[in-house]
Amino acid sequence: MSASTAVYEVNRQVTIPDKYQEILQIVGDLQLAVNNAIRRYALDIASEQIEKCEEEVTHFRNKYGCSYESFLEGITNGNNPEFLENLNHKHPTWEADFNVWETYVEELQRWRNRCCGYF
């Protein structure tokens, strides 16, 4: 079964305190309310992860004065040897930074894909 068609079912019982059950039942279907609460919680977690990744990507963008895509082009495109010369001179540890930057860019995209359609 592919990941896009996989169905995950978790059979767990969750105890909802009486005071919350009363409130949730007043506004409608208890199961629907629980599902909505779990959805909001999951999206809050995803939002926090997206924000963390965006902060890190912005850190490197500010440090190197360009986007990740421009940086990648500069280090892989042989048409601009001055880019690498300046990079090596100003930031001798750029390769380690690049690996971390790339990881955050990829992780940011994964989180955004997970949340596609929810925001």
pLDDT in tens, 12-70: 787 888 888 888 778 778 888 888 888 899 999 999 999 999 999 999 999 999 999 99
pLDDT in tens, 97-116: 999 999 999 999 999 998 87
Mean local confidence (pLDDT), 88-98: 96
6 in any annotated domain: no
Domain enclosing residue 62, as ranges:
18-114
Mean local confidence (pLDDT), 75-97: 92
2 in any annotated domain: no
Identify which has the larger pLDDT, 1 or 39.
39
The answer to whether residues 78 and 72 touch, using CB atoms and an 8 Å cutoff, is no
1 in any annotated domain: no
SS3 labels along 33-97: HHHHHHHHHHHHHHHHHHHHHHHHHHHHHHHHCCCHHHHHHHHHCCCCHHHHHHHHHHCCCHHHH
Q: What is the mean pLDDT of the chain?
A: 87
How many domains does the chain fold into? 1
For position 3, what pLDDT does the model report? 44
10 in any annotated domain: no
